[in-house]
Amino acid sequence: MTAQTAKQKASAAAKDANSTAPKVTTESKMEVYLSKTVQLVPGAEPLKPGSHSLIESVATGLIEDGLAVSKESANSEEEGEE
């Protein structure tokens, strides 16, 4: 009985991993400004430089890697140059 349950769980997990249905996330989004083109997922369309709304953890990672700045930071830098 246990082996059958494990197989069912593995099968359900495999179906979920291969699902194209959008995943629900409770993580908030953050506006960032990309300084260069970034490929987030292999095979997906890369994000071009400019303003984007990304999941906060992804946006934070890009900021830490120096590939993006928060939109608030970008706006304050532009205001300081005037």
Reported pTM:
0.57
- Report pLDDT for 34: 92
Angle at 71 between CA 64 and CA 47, to 5 degrees: 70
Q: Note the pLDDT tens digit of each residue in 24-62.
A: 667 799 999 998 999 888 898 999 999 999 999 999 999
Name residues whose C-beta falls within 8 Å of residue 37's C-beta, 6 or more positions apart in sequence.
Answer: 46, 47, 48, 49
1 band by pLDDT with thresholds 50, 70 and 90: very low
Mean pLDDT computed over 1-16: 56
Mean pLDDT computed over 10-22: 58
Q: Which helix (H) or strand (E) holds 68?
A: strand 68-70
